[in-house]
A and B are shown apart, each in its own frame.
Chain A
């Protein structure tokens, strides 16, 4: 199958998935008990205000018509206004999205960096020290609540050891000129090493927290695939032919393992783009997650929906990109 057709087919799936996502967010707001008008004007508002809002939102019209209206709004890029910040939600999100991307990317890179090598090594040497270490690390990493881990890291590295800066957001004063919105990249582009240091220092603890909790499942998957591959027929054949162990691992086993592992890593990254909520909250990181929580606490509902929608869409898109990359890399998918 040619690449163009494959991409076309995946794009059709993408549309279906996005449709499903929009349907779910719609159902959550309109069909569940609770009047969305109250979410907008507050519980104390008087009858006439509530009725005005109901009419403006079209809540008195049939549900199918409401859905059509909602979809039209989505297509025109209108996600509503936040009454807490007095801005259109899209503007607010545009400001905060880079912060979440920076945190999620840093966490994903660190997670892959510790978990994949450890998973491979522990699969190769069963019952060794590194295998046991991997066991403990993945067991703890899967089970530890990330908000609590963040707190413990703050306690140890900020309060007791004084190695990390105060957990109050992305920077302590030095902000590099805005190009991409990612402070680390921007400071490199501007050549401002002081800003880079500051940005990295602020990024370290939240990224480590997320890297520990998201790396653990990745480690398990890597170890599982690696064990499976090392026990497979083609590895046995390679051994029988006298291929050196080093080459067996690097040339015969790893390519087979890294393919499914990269899918998992992509899913993890997609998940991270919407899964930084708690860590953002703990470290006062001004991203989408903190925006959502602050909005909920102020009964400001439009931003919450937008954040939910945005993270679901980014998950689907990351997954799509990974799928297409696989199609290019792996000849078996092309039949």
Chain B
């Protein structure tokens, strides 16, 4: 691993340097994996690790030109909005008021120049809560989807490679899983186990594993007997090596497009669970829970309490879905 010599100025130089630096596959995997891991920890960890969050944000800003440069044109707007959302989740909370601060004297203030989104029934600043909520919603969304990919993708590919009983049993199980309405299944599990953030991540991941399993299975099936796989097999490579080095890289694009959709789903499930009172505990700023609080104010015409967090969910999910569409179409 060597640092590239300085070339042209501007974002292209940055991008080129980073690309060279992250040139070889194992290095790239480690870099991407570590970045993701730090990002998730920084998002979900329920503490005031300001220094970590600032460092991660600086990293994200530094990496942005590389992403920008390497992606095709059509993906750019969605990537830009997504980056902005992640940044908002990471460092936004440092600049707002305290989202938990009660202020009964200021309860249910209409949105204005001072309090942009108004306040809820306990006088808490809705703007601050929406910004803080981004951290939890994005964090849980990304982690749950990542967990589902990590489990579902190798399983799906393995199902094709092994074939036979292993394949049909896995397929039957995942088909049965998909007969359950996602939300109702998640509700059933939460009711049995009890809600907490790690458990929510785990549950949302479980209900999404079959999606990846079947997706990867259908993407791998046509290439499992391709010449390059046979060649690798003739060369005496182990099954796992064939799986990770030759087969999975070929289905990456499909899975990536699905990943983006899946983060969106995960956010919707989390918001829905919180909306019915089975997600995060009450004062935690989370978009679905905030919509629920506003639902009770609706009959008095106080629209702002639930409209703003709802717009936040809609905007995030819309961005992720657009990203997925674009990735799919440019492939």
Contact = CB atoms under 8 A, between A and B. Distances in A.
Decide if A and B are genuine partners: yes
Given A20-B176, A282-B295, A315-B181, A277 B187 contact: yes
Contact of A308 (B185, B268, B272, B321): B185
Contacts of A154: 298
Given A25-B188, A292-B187, A147 B275 contact: yes
A308 B180 CA distance: 7
A20 B317 CA distance: 32
A26 B181 CA distance: 16
Contacts of B310: 145, 148, 151-152
Given A275-B183, A311-B181, A36 B192 contact: yes
A206 to B, nearest CB: 14
Q: From DSSP, what is the main secondary structure of chain B's interface residues?
A: helix
Contact of A20 (B173, B184, B271, B321): B173
A21 B298 contact: no
Interface string B255-286: 00000000010001001100111100000000
B191 interface: yes
A269 interface: no
Interface in B139-191: 172-173, 175-177, 179-181, 183-185, 187-191
A21 B291 contact: no
A139 interface: yes
Given A17-B175, A34-B194, A301-B192, A145 B180 contact: no
Contacts of A281: 275-276
A296 interface: yes
A305 interface: yes
B179 A278 contact: no
B314 interface: yes
A16 interface: yes
Contact of A159 (B193, B298, B306, B313): B298
A183 interface: no
B189 A32 contact: yes
Given A145-B271, A145-B317, A151-B306, A21 B184 contact: no
**Secondary structure dominating the interface of A:** helix
A29 B187 CA distance: 12
A29 B276 contact: no
A155 B275 contact: no
Interface in A24-71: 24-25, 28-29, 32-34, 36, 39
Q: How large is the interface on B (under 10, 10 to 19, 20 to 34, 35 or more residues)?
A: 35 or more
A142 interface: yes
A176 interface: no
Interface string B110-152: 0000000000000000000000000000000000000000000
B187 A293 contact: yes
A140 interface: yes
A36 B191 CA distance: 10
A223 B69 CA distance: 32
Contacts of B278: 296
Given A34-B193, A143-B264, A296-B278, A24 B317 contact: no
Given A34-B192, A152-B307, A308-B188, A315 B179 contact: yes
Interface in B307-328: 307, 310, 313-314, 317-318, 321-322
Interface in B215-242: none
Contacts of A271: 181
Contacts of B191: 39, 296, 301, 304
Contacts of A305: 188
A274 interface: yes
A278 B272 contact: yes
B175 to A, nearest CB: 6
Contacts of B317: 143-145
Contacts of B180: 21, 24, 274, 308, 311-312, 315
Nearest to A300: B191
Nearest to A25: B188
Contacts of B45: none
A139 B314 contact: no
Contacts of B303: 155
Interface string A266-283: 000001001101100110
Given A20-B176, A271-B181, A275-B184, 7 more contacts: A32-B189, A142-B321, A151-B306, A281-B276, A289-B184, A308-B187, A315-B180
Interface of A: 16-17, 20-21, 23-25, 28-29, 32-34, 36, 39, 139-140, 142-145, 147-148, 151-152, 154-155, 159, 271, 274-275, 277-278, 281-282, 289, 292-293, 296-297, 301, 304-305, 307-308, 311-313, 315-316, 319
Which 9 pairs between the two chains have the least Cβ-Cβ distance? A20-B176, A274-B181, A148-B310, A143-B318, A143-B317, A312-B179, A296-B191, A308-B188, A275-B181
29 contacts: A17-B179, A20-B179, A23-B176, A28-B189, A32-B192, A33-B193, A34-B194, A36-B192, A139-B322, A142-B321, A145-B268, A145-B271, A145-B313, A145-B314, A147-B272, A148-B291, A159-B298, A277-B183, A277-B184, A296-B190, A296-B191, A304-B188, A305-B188, A307-B184, A312-B176, A312-B179, A312-B180, A315-B181, A319-B179
